[in-house]
Structure 1
Amino acid sequence: MTALLALALLAPISDTREPYRVTLVVSVAKSRLLTKVFRQQVERELRDGLQAALGPLAKVSVTASHPLLADIWEIGLDRAVGGCRDRGPGQTHFVTIGYDGVHYEIQTRMHDGITGLASPVGRYDTTRDRAFVARLAALMIEQDLALTGTVITEPDAGQQVKVELRGGLLGELSRWIKKDVLFSLTSVPSSGPGRLQPFLFLQVVSPPQEGVCVCRVLRRYRLTALTGMTATLMPTRSGPLRLRLMQEGPRGLVPLNSPVTLEIRRHGFEGEIGSLLRLPASGNRDVDTLKRGEQGRFDRVAFVSVLSGTNVLARVPVPLIDEGVIVIPVPTVNEEEGGIQDRFRMLLRNAVDAEQVQGSMFEDINKLTKEPSKRGTAIAHVKETLARLRDDHVRLSKEREAVRIESEKLKTKLDWKIVDQRLERLRSGEKDLLVHVSNLEKIEREENDPKRREWLIKKAEADSLVKQADVAEALKIYRSAPEEFKTEEYRKFVETLEAKWKPIDEEHAKARTFIYERWGGMSTNGIKDNLAEAKKSLQTCISAGDLYGSAKFRDLTLKHVVRMDSELKALKPDVNADDEQPAMIIKELFPELRKMVEDAEAAAVK
């Protein structure tokens, strides 16, 4: 399949002269033996040791305070950091230190602000040596340094790409970025957490030169264009492989319903007859290559083919990160049909992501244009993003047609309605943004009266708020117009909008309050507890002919779907029992939310 798709990836392009910002958050348990002097010594040795190791590549700082610390001590470091999706300019390494009377217990986990994602695993180790605590913590942290880069080329005939490395011209990276190490790939939007690409990796072919390294593409799905994606160094290891095969179902993964055969290789999905490991697999037990001795050991990555008879169901590159079980989803159809269905799902996800990016543009430009000195920057930023979004719409449209042609091979027809709705919203949103930017440029260029210029800028902000269905906020601005600019036509315009916005009754007003003040800020559990009220509020707005309330509900619900999709990907219910309940809640909510999005979409007209 041809890779046609690339999102507007708005994370800063990796800068070969930009140092990493590394923050160490050290939290020491309360104990009379873990004194203030001990804590200060650990902080100092950690900071100095890592700064010496990284040299000019990074600026390392240490602190004992962070908003996540309360959650870390309450629910555990792994869950607290693993669930964090905050974005920022640097990476944060959390270190907790305890003492059980014999051993010093150290836990670490990293959160990368560039992508908004945590490291794949948390780490735990112990030592009896008080003087070795800081050194051991530093060794644990070094395994999870988020060394990143940006993919700058598409795969060539040999399936190789180039990656421009952050800090690549500041210092020596070959200590970490060696031949055969792996990068994960993440698509990073302008706001919100990035989307880690499943079973898509880069393997370094040769050490970096002039801040750029060449990598081989390892992937299960041939779905996504790679240029612009963020590559993050993975903490891979050598050792045996533990696998759990799960069947893909309409509501998630279920136990495998029929046995399959695994072919596991070391360098690719073909050949290697002499070292090929062939094993049976079923839904009754995990596959563990430990008992196979050296034949069951793999270096950094294994190439797993799943077969039903002679029919290849999936080819999956599997990185070795820790000793935990790795879940491999197995499609119910052959590799070709499964690829088409996955391609369709990726198309839908990317269309939704692109729409979210586009929606954030109105918010961004409204924030920046409040300050006259930043208007030029705001306009340039939006125009640059618009160009990428325009390219996205073209690529998404081409991908839609390509997938449609491919999908004719499927027995089960795909539902194109929601994809087409997203593409149409992208097209109309692009038009609205172009008009908005053009209007701002015209005001800046032609309006000589400073007072009138400032008012027209504010009015343009109000106009964009109406398009985002934030009518109450828009009306506040419209009503604040200086008296000399309130023409008769303008007064009638405001009165008409006020009439459209006025609730028809108390029940309608209550529904509006729920949607605008409560719905968007709810957590996943909050959505579960308030689902009935959400449905009622939406239906109240639809019955009242409230286009704005329906549109706002649609947009907020779509954001919840995107957020919960990221949450679900971070959970491992098939491996971690604590993740079973949160994953089940999300899976149960998805069809409800999607149905409400469809209903709101049908009622909303912008």
Structure 2
Amino acid sequence: MRVRLLAAVLATVALARPAPAQLDPEPKTPTLWRVVLKAKPHPLLSPSFREQLKRDALAALQPAMGPLGTVEVIDLGEVPRDKWEPLWQQFDDKGFSALDAPRDLTGAKTHFLALEYRDGQYHLEARQHDGFAGLASPVVRRQSVRAPELVGRTAGLMLDRDFGPTGSFDATPGKVDAVKVALRGGQLGALGDRVVKVGDVFAVSQVFKTQRPAPPPVRTATGKIIAAPPGSVPPPALSATLRPFTLLRVIEVNKDGTVRCGVLTLYQNPFPAATNLVGYRCMKLGTVDAPLTVRLVTSNPADQKSTGQATVRATEAGFGTPPDPKDRFTFRDGLFRSERSLANVACVTVTHGGRSVPFPVPVLGPEPVNLPFEINPELERKAENLRGLVAAAARVADARNAQTICFEATAALIEKKKNADALARARGGFQAADAADKGIADDLARIKESPDASPELVRSIERQLAALRQFNVQLAAHVKTLEAVVARENDPTIAAREVQAEALVTRITLLLGRGDVDEAINAYDLLVTLLPENAEVKARRDKLKADWAPKSDAHAKARDYLLKKWAAVATVPDFRDSLPDLGRAVEECKKVGDKYTLRKLLTVFTAAGVKLNDLVAPLDPNADADRKLAADAKAVAAALAALEVQITEFVDAK
């Protein structure tokens, strides 16, 4: 069964499993800091004005970077959109919330600067995403100035404030009071107070090895890219998720490019082992000395009004310090406010009904900070189990997506007559899927032992695992075929034409398995040219062309909708509104027996799941509009999963 759960939310808590640290701290690697400018069109924001802004920002930032890296300022208005990187496109489409979505690590730090002129002022907003630690700045910085000559200087100060040095560290499961962090580029020069000093605060990310191939390399600060050797399998991509409510506070700066940090955390076990976990990274935050405002958030709306019954206090000294009246927050208008300023970090303790929960919170500015606190502890236990299930669902969906990419890459390499490379790619994909299958199956078995495990979600994950295994059986068969092709290719007694024909047959099989009929017909044309005397090959090609030809105008429109229009849907409301048309188009294809289009649609569903995850990840559960979008996304995911079951049964029917 080819069924992938279209999870609407990605969990950030992984299930326990030992894994060795494998992260390179890159102590001698300079940082590439990209400032990406997006200016809203206005006569005063002319190309010459933006060019001056770029020069001013570069002049303000590069000297301070010193040997730690290179600053590059990019004006989106000067770069054709088809040359934009995916993160730039997502920022242009969604704004700063796009930075919250999980993504593969690239190593580059990208700092977005939005500029707009209105009401007689230049308005600037800035936020960064670090591609080494996989973390985004927690807040969007905002400044406004009236004088045009101050725009560049203001932008430089905003960006510099949030420049976050990053690092890597190893940690063993269990209670940990301190860790040693190796800073990226820490051995390139002296670490002055501007880079890091005692009292600075770092956010923490868990870094996981995925089943996807790593993205194309972003050039280093020196402009150098080391190409992979021919025939090599792309390394697995690394992805990072924020370790919530776990902070590092610097207590010692060393001359060898490392810092010793105390650990402030919500958890008894702040750095648990987990499946595919390869280590931890961190990024310094732009903290301040200021009062703190917090909002307690519950999963049950009925309990939200009771949050004022809790007691909130905070201190910079750490958890476990004796209560002091000056540390207590006052409650007003649904918010808890500190009576004094807190420097860099607040060790917040929330108490209700004899239960106390510690929350380490970075002090970043006046905006309220949401703290998840259940008045009913039973809800908290159930939420933890659900997060584990959603994490498993996300991992198996990731493995299925990687498997799809492997099929595509293998077929493309065969088309280029790189059969040895295709074999290496197929082998790597098979091994990755097999490892993912075993790890997820073990984790799922543990989750099912809980009485809170959702039967529906468990069944969905089990169906996905079955699909993963089924396609890995097919991939194993392709590996054997390619092994034979490569062996014959290296045999001087066998004609090259015969080997090429075998490779084309393998490519056709791969393409038809995914529903890529047009490409399969093109491959058949090459095979017919190669074997003009083979009547059977011609007959198979002609039959495929006849089967693929639209059976009616309605059928042609249904196919076009499924593979072009629906594949381009990009928002939650559009997904929701598309469901009736999607269902009708699927029924039209089923009516005429068009299994190829529906087989291709199954691969499109994988991309739809990724889109939904990206759309839901940045939503605020406390905003009514965002809660509505999240509910719509959940309904869409359920509808697509049910439709996928129907399509799979249809295309698999003999």
TM-score with structure 1 setting the length: 0.78
Cα deviation digits, residues 432-478 of structure 1 (max 9, x gap): 34443454454334315445445544443332223333334323323
CA distance in 2, matches of 1:423, 1:52: 52
Change beyond 3 A, Cα 1:32–1:545: closer
CA distance in 2, matches of 1:562, 1:305: 36
CA distance in 1, matches of 2:18, 2:397: 13
| Alignment correspondent of 1:536 | 584
| Alignment correspondent of 1:246 | 297
| Alignment correspondent of 2:235 | none
Deviation at 1:344, TM superposition (A): 1.7
- Say what the alpha-carbon RMSD is for the aligned residues: 4.6
Cα deviation digits, residues 315-353 of structure 1 (max 9, x gap): 654444442233334555254343222212222222222
| Alignment correspondent of 1:176 | 195
CA distance in 2, matches of 1:30, 1:502: 47
| Alignment correspondent of 1:72 | none
Q: Which amino acid aligns with 1:4?
A: A
CA distance in 1, matches of 2:546, 2:557: 17
| Alignment correspondent of 1:46 | 57
1:323-402 paired onto structure 2 within 5 Å: 323-330=366-373, 333-368=378-413, 370-371=415-416, 380=424, 383-384=427-428, 386-402=430-446
Contact 1:244 1:325 (C-alpha < 8 Å) held by counterparts: yes
Q: Which amino acid aligns with 2:297?
A: M
CA distance in 2, matches of 1:514, 1:375: 35
Change beyond 3 A, Cα 1:109–1:492: same
CA distance in 1, matches of 2:551, 2:44: 66
Contact 1:104 1:128 (C-alpha < 8 Å) held by counterparts: yes
- SS of aligned partner of 2:620: coil
Cα deviation digits, residues 513-553 of structure 1 (max 9, x gap): 32222222211243233221012223444555655444443
Change beyond 3 A, Cα 1:128–1:415: closer
Deviation at 1:402, TM superposition (A): 1.2
Change beyond 3 A, Cα 1:275–1:467: farther
Cα deviation digits, residues 62-111 of structure 1 (max 9, x gap): 23324689xxxxx9989534337787663333334566797654332335
Residue ranges of structure 1 left out of the alignment (5+ in a row): 70-74
Q: Which amino acid aligns with 1:143?
A: R
- Count of matched residue pairs: 586
Greater displacement, 207-216 / 411-420: 207-216
Q: 1:92 aligns with which of 101, 110, 117?
A: 110
1:437-448 paired onto structure 2 within 5 Å: 437-448=479-490
Change beyond 3 A, Cα 1:166–1:426: farther
Cα deviation digits, residues 544-588 of structure 1 (max 9, x gap): 56554444434423432332222222133635x875775565355
Q: 1:426 aligns with which of 468, 473, 477?
A: 468
Cα deviation digits, residues 285-313 of structure 1 (max 9, x gap): 432223x225xx36335445464x2467x
| Alignment correspondent of 1:586 | 633
Change beyond 3 A, Cα 1:565–1:102: closer
1:224-373 paired onto structure 2 within 5 Å: 224-225=274-275, 226-228=277-279, 231-248=282-299, 256=304, 258-259=306-307, 261-266=310-315, 271-275=320-324, 285-290=333-338, 292-294=339-341, 297=342, 299-305=344-350, 307=352, 309-310=353-354, 316-330=359-373, 333-368=378-413, 370-371=415-416
Are 1:556 and 2:607 an aligned pair?
A: no
Q: Which amino acid aligns with 1:427?
A: R
Q: 1:466 aligns with which of 497, 512, 518?
A: 512
Change beyond 3 A, Cα 1:151–1:517: farther
- SS of aligned partner of 2:321: coil
Residue ranges of structure 2 left out of the alignment (5+ in a row): 1-12, 85-89, 216-237
Q: 1:80 aligns with which of 69, 85, 95?
A: 95
Contact 1:105 1:127 (C-alpha < 8 Å) held by counterparts: yes
Deviation at 1:495, TM superposition (A): 6.1
Q: 2:448 aligns with which of 400, 404, 408?
A: 404
- SS of aligned partner of 1:256: helix
Greater displacement, 100-109 / 535-544: 100-109
Change beyond 3 A, Cα 1:509–1:97: closer
Q: 1:512 aligns with which of 559, 570, 573?
A: 559
Identity %, equivalent residues = 22
Q: Which amino acid aligns with 1:300?
A: V
Cα deviation digits, residues 337-384 of structure 1 (max 9, x gap): 432222122222222223223322223344455556x77666556655
Contact 2:292 2:365 (C-alpha < 8 Å) held by counterparts: no
Q: 1:569 aligns with which of 609, 617, 623?
A: 617
Change beyond 3 A, Cα 1:518–1:41: closer
Q: Which amino acid aligns with 1:515?
A: L
Cα deviation digits, residues 495-518 of structure 1 (max 9, x gap): 676676566665444333322222
Q: Which amino acid aligns with 1:44?
A: R
Deviation at 1:141, TM superposition (A): 0.9
Deviation at 1:399, TM superposition (A): 0.8
Greater displacement, 523-532 / 176-185: 176-185
| Alignment correspondent of 1:22 | 33
- SS of aligned partner of 2:617: helix
CA distance in 2, matches of 1:370, 1:213: 51
Deviation at 1:418, TM superposition (A): 0.5
Q: Which amino acid aligns with 1:355?
A: R
CA distance in 1, matches of 2:632, 2:485: 49
Q: Which amino acid aligns with 1:468?
A: R
- SS of aligned partner of 1:248: coil
Q: Which amino acid aligns with 2:513?
A: K
Cα deviation digits, residues 40-68 of structure 1 (max 9, x gap): 44322321332222223222222332468
Contact 1:82 1:118 (C-alpha < 8 Å) held by counterparts: no
- SS of aligned partner of 2:310: strand
CA distance in 2, matches of 1:551, 1:146: 46
Cα deviation digits, residues 223-262 of structure 1 (max 9, x gap): 945425664444344433333333326xxx7872644525
CA distance in 2, matches of 1:288, 1:335: 21
Change beyond 3 A, Cα 1:497–1:101: closer
Deviation at 1:39, TM superposition (A): 4.6
Change beyond 3 A, Cα 1:431–1:171: farther
